[in-house]
Amino acid sequence: MKAIVIEQYGGREQLVERELETPELKGDQVVIDMKATSINPIDWKVREGYMKDNIPFEFPVILGWDAAGIIKEVGTEVKNFKVGDRVFARPATTRWGTYAEEVVVDEPLLAHLPDNIPFEEAAAVPLAGLTAWQCLVDFADIQEGDKVLIHAGSGGVGHYAIQIAKSFGAYVATTASGKNKDWVEELGPDLFIDYKEENFAEVLNDYDIVLDTLGGDIQSDSYKILKDGGRLVSITQPPKEEEAERHNVKAGFVFLDPKGEQLAELAKMMEKGKLTSVIGHRFDLSEEGLRQAHEVSESHHAKGKIVISI
C-alpha cells in the first residue's frame, strides 16, 4: 500500500512516500480501504518530536489518526461490522496511522457511517469531534440552558463544540477572528466575539462552562467569567489546581480517549444535519499534499478542518 511516513523527527520535508505492507490483522480488527483522512495538530507535533517522551514510536511512522472508508477485511472475532460497510474511526495511537491507502482498526473504535455523509466530511470528525464531545459531555456534564464559552470557534475542535453544545440546548458564545464571522455564525452560536476587537473577559460573566483551546493567558482570564462552581476544560494545558480552587471552579485537561460508541452518537447528529464538518482545505495523499497540509495546520489559521482525499 502507498503511505506517507516519517523516518526521523524533523520538519515537513520528513514526510515521504513509501510502499509498505498492510499491518497484520488481528481477530478483533478490520482493514479499512481508506477514502479520506484529516490533519490535526498532534500530527505535526509528533513529526517534530514534541511528543516522543509521551508517545514513543519506532520508525517508520505513519502519522494521522482520522479514518473514513470501506471495510475490506474483517477479523475472526469481529461481530458488528462486515466487508463493504462504510465506517469512520479514530484509530488507536500507534505508529500505523492513517496517511495510507489501508488502515487496521480495532472494532470498539469503529462507527458505521451514514450513507448520506461523504467520506471527506466524515474523516474530519473523529479526533476533533470526539475531543469536543468528551470535553463538553463527559467532563463538563453540559445541560440544557448552560451558558458555554468556546474559544476559537473557527478551529477544528471549536466548530464541532459549538454544534454539540447547541444540540444540548446550551447558550453558546464563541471567540474567533472577524474574518471568520459569517461562516462561524452559520454554526449557530448565540454570541460571536471578535477577539481582535473585544476582550471576552470584559463582556461575559456568569458562565457555566468554558472550553479552552488556546491556553496561557486565555485560560487564566477564562476563570473571570465563570460562575461559582463552574467548569473549565482545556485541551492545550492542564489548569493549575490552585487557580481553579481560588475561583471555586472544576477544572481539568482532556486528552482524547477514542470510543466507537461516542462516534456513533456523532454519526446520528451528522445524519440528522445537526453536525456539519467545515472543510477549509483539501489536499491529496502525496508528499507535497501532506507537506502543504502540515504547513496550513502549523499556521494556526486553518479554517475548520484540513482533509486529505485518498
Check residues 93 and 56 and name the one with the higher pLDDT: 93
Report the C-alpha gap between 166 and 195 in whole angstroms: 21
Amino acid at position 10, single letter: G
pLDDT digit string, tens, across residues 94-115:
999 999 999 999 999 999 999 9
Q: What is the model's pLDDT at position 300?
A: 85
> Could you write out the DSSP letters of every residue in 64-106?
---EEEEEEEE-TT--S--TT-EEEE---SSSB-SSBSEEEEE
- Going by pLDDT thresholds of 50, 70 and 90, the confidence category of residue 297 is very high
User: Domain 128-253 belongs to what architecture?
Assistant: 3-Layer(aba) Sandwich (3.40)
Q: What is the mean pLDDT of residues 60-72?
A: 98
Q: What is the model's pLDDT at position 3?
A: 98
Query: How many Cβ atoms sit within 10 Å of the Cβ of residue 95?
Result: 17
Domain locations along the chain:
2-124+277-309, 128-253
pLDDT digit string, tens, across residues 4-62:
999 999 999 999 999 999 999 999 999 999 999 999 999 999 999 999 998 889 999 99
Q: What is the model's pLDDT at position 301?
A: 83
pTM for this one?
0.96
Q: What is the mean pLDDT of residues 202-227?
A: 97
Q: Partners of 232 in the beta sheet?
A: 210, 251
Q: What is the mean pLDDT of residues 199-222?
A: 97
Q: What is the model's pLDDT at position 302?
A: 86
* CATH class of segment(s) 2-124+277-309: alpha beta
Q: What is the model's pLDDT at position 54?
A: 86
Q: Which of 173, 243, 178, 190 is nearest to 215 (CA)?
A: 243
